[in-house]
Amino acid sequence: MTERCLIAALYGSLALCALRAPAQAPGYDQPYRPQVHFSPRQHWTNDPNGLVYFDHEYHLFFQYNPFGDEWGHMSWGHAVSPDLLHWRELPVAIPEENGVMIFTGSVVVDHANTSGLCSEGQSCLIAIYTGASKTPEGGRQTQNIAYSRDDGRTWTKYEKNPVLDLQLADFRDPSVQWDADARRWVMAVSLPKEHRVSFYASPDLKQWRHLSDFGPEGDTAGDWECPDLLRVPAWQGHESLWALKVGLNPGAPQGGSGEQYFLGSFDGARFVASKDRGSHGWTNYGKDDYCAISFNGLPADQPPVLMGWMSNWQYAAKLPTSPWRGQMSLPRRVSFLRDGAGLALRQEPVIDPLHEQSSALSGTAASALLAGNGLAAVAPYELDLDFGHTSEEVFGIRLYSDAQHWTEVGFDTKHREFYIDRSNSGIRISPDFPGRTVAPLAEGRPYDLRLIVDRSSIEAYAQEDTIAMTDLIFPPSTNDRIRLFVSPAQPAKISGRLWKLKSIWEKGPSAH
Ligand code: FRU
């Protein structure tokens, strides 16, 4: 029973309450259960897999343990959505079998039946995944395919698997797309210990030929995992660039798992990183966004959409949630920006369809926010703030769930940093959890901030969406008192808007 229903029940008006309370899909209302992010109804998840848009439906496959809330028995879970936000979980798509776990990979739409695995004259979905098995020598990872002729509902593993085997213990996470110019499939796949992404080409998804290698380059402190190659349009303008993103674990600058990107060119066979300022950065400057991949099958005139796993291998097994463990980031439309500060990847979260009531915060509302008890908000909510080009030294916002627990999000213009500080946010699930994550501030870009606060996370987008920072939090309550701060104290010129967000698990007319 929700708090509102309980109060209504005490006053004998339960019928009224039942009428008014939003219909929540059962099983999605526990403490810390994300309300605007996907999480499986029960059990463990890590990386998103096989993101694809096909026949008016978005598919999210995900690393999944069908038997428990810890990593193991890796299989592909499955969910579908009409709009990238409202997800409906379906049965396991590709299960572990005969000791071969189904690791991360991608799904493509085989429009022309190049594989010969679709029904005559039909398109079908083909999954390309890493099969991981134990061997006396320590393990073997190979690339494999499976096909579905019924919109991803049932899958058959290809009888002649594997399709690519280098006899290696570490060789994983194939990301495949159609190259319309060369009329062939291209795969980016990781050699984690060598800090290399290998590119392969195939006419039919079965035979693969090595094209080139990228790396070691950029940050090589940990294993390279989950590569993805994206054609990225300019935010404003007609130019396009290629982005190669690759996960790094452990050893990312924020600790544990992180993801770097390279902007550059791809000629169909080789990726070359640009030397321009800003061409190397981090897709996320927080601690909790890993192994993001982009959707295949989107209309050609749409920018790529990235989605990641909202956790970190340092403490993923310790999240205090039940009966599930793990969630996905919001989907984000990707573009790039080129300005006086150089190049940067931009990520705009897909969230607007969940906007409910909003209140403007400007003039007196902003001063009310600064004073007294602050403004009340209950997760999930979004807060859009514009601090303009102010010269104050440190400014930002504190989200208090009680007097001892808060999360601070701010701009420190003296040290040229944007940050989230979750040191006092709530449950400290591991020694690696509390702390501050930082991103460098770019010269000349405005101090705008968009925060999406869910029951157990904060996603921040700042400086025209060139900084994305995602951090999990486990506060004692989801009722925040929000207070702006400026230091040294000066009259602040701040405007903004607070949006209440609809839960994706509420059954509205467009929900499922
Ligand atoms: C990254 C990763 C992948 C692998 C999967 C296994 O989080 O280690 O490299 O395919 O998880 O679950």
pLDDT at 212 over 70: yes
pLDDT at 60 over 80: yes
- C-alpha dihedral sign at 426, 427, 428, 429: negative
Contact 498, 377 (CB under 8 A): yes
Ligand 1 pocket mutation, candidates 94, 100, 101, 103, criterion most atoms within 8 A of CB: 103
> What is the rounded CA–CA span in Å between residue 344 and residue 329?
20
CA 186 to centroid of ligand 1, rounded, Å: 21
| Contacts with 245 (C-beta within 8 Å, 6 or more apart), sequence order | 227, 228, 230, 259, 260, 261, 262, 283, 292, 306
Using CA positions, which residue lies closest to atom 7 of ligand 1?
A: 47
Contact 252, 470 (CB under 8 A): no
CA 45 to centroid of ligand 1, rounded, Å: 11
Q: What's the pLDDT band for 213 if we cut at 50, 70, 90?
A: very high
CA of 257, closest atom in ligand 1: 7
User: What would the mean pLDDT of 342-364 be, rounded to a whole number?
Assistant: 92
Q: What's the pLDDT band for 376 if we cut at 50, 70, 90?
A: confident
CA of 192, closest atom in ligand 1: 9
Ligand 1 pocket mutation, candidates 46, 71, 106, 144, criterion most atoms within 8 A of CB: 46
CA of 190, closest atom in ligand 1: 9
Q: What's the pLDDT band for 107 if we cut at 50, 70, 90?
A: very high
pLDDT tens digit sequence for 445-498: 999 999 999 999 999 999 999 999 999 999 999 899 998 888 777 666 778 999
pLDDT at 363: 64
Question: What positions carry a catalytic annotation?
Answer: 47
pLDDT tens digit sequence for 62-77: 999 999 999 999 999 9
pLDDT at 17 over 70: no
> What is the rounded CA–CA span in Å between residue 377 and residue 479?
6
CA 249 to centroid of ligand 1, rounded, Å: 10
pLDDT at 506: 82
The residue ranking higher by pLDDT, 7 or 125, is 125
First to last CA, the chain: 23
User: What would the mean pLDDT of 213-225 be, rounded to a whole number?
Assistant: 97
Ligand 1 pocket mutation, candidates 106, 173, 190, 287, criterion most atoms within 8 A of CB: 173
∠ CA 333-334-340, nearest 5°, is 135
Residues with CB under 6 A from ligand 1: 46-47, 63, 74, 103-104, 130, 172-173, 225-226, 290-291
Using CA positions, which residue lies closest to atom 9 of ligand 1?
A: 225
- Mean pLDDT rounded to a whole number for the chain: 92
> What is the rounded CA–CA span in Å between residue 150 and residue 156?
11
CA 402 to centroid of ligand 1, rounded, Å: 37
CA of 103, closest atom in ligand 1: 10
pLDDT at 18: 34
CA 291 to centroid of ligand 1, rounded, Å: 8
> What is the rounded CA–CA span in Å between residue 149 and residue 153?
8
pLDDT at 387: 84
